[in-house]
Amino acid sequence: MARVLLFGRLADQAGWRERSVEAGSLASLRQALAAADPDLAEALGGPGVQVAIDKAIVRGEATLAAATEVAFLPPMSGG
Amino acid sequence: MTAFPSISLTAHSFEPGVLLTNFCAGRDETGAVASFVGLARAEHGRATVLELEAYPGFTDAAIARFAEEAKARFDLHDYRIVHRIGRIAPGEAIVFVATAAGHRRAAFEACDFLMDWLKSRAPFWKKEHGPDGDRWIEPTAQDRTDAERWD
Q: ipTM score of the complex?
A: 0.92
pTM of the model: 0.91
**Region of B108 on the Ramachandran plot (φ > 0 left; ψ -120 to 50 alpha; else beta):** alpha
CA distance B138 to A33: 26
Pairwise CB contact (< 8 Å): A55 & B58: yes
Low-confidence ranges of chain A (pLDDT < 70): none
For each of the domains in chain B, give its residue range(s) and CATH number, in order of start.
Answer: 7-148 (3.90.1170.40)
Give the tens place of pLDDT for each residue, B62-94: 999 999 999 999 999 999 999 999 999 999 999
Q: Which of residues 8-47 of A touch B (CB under 8 A)?
A: 8-9, 12
* Chain A: residue whose CA lies nearest to B139: A77
Pairwise CB contact (< 8 Å): A9 & B125: yes
Give the tens place of pLDDT for each residue, B92-108: 999 999 999 999 999 99
Q: Is the pLDDT of residue B2 over 70?
A: no
Pairwise CB contact (< 8 Å): B83 & A73: no
Looking at A3-66, list the stretches that DSSP marks H as alpha helix, in order from N- to C-terminal side. 8-14, 26-36, 38-44
- Residues of B at the A interface, defined by Cβ within 8 angstroms: 38, 52-53, 55, 57-58, 61, 83, 94-95, 118-127, 136-139, 143
Pairwise CB contact (< 8 Å): B119 & A75: no
Give the tens place of pLDDT for each residue, B17-64: 999 999 999 999 999 999 999 999 888 877 789 999 999 999 999 999
CA atoms within a 13 Å half-sphere pointing along the CA-CB vector of B46: 6
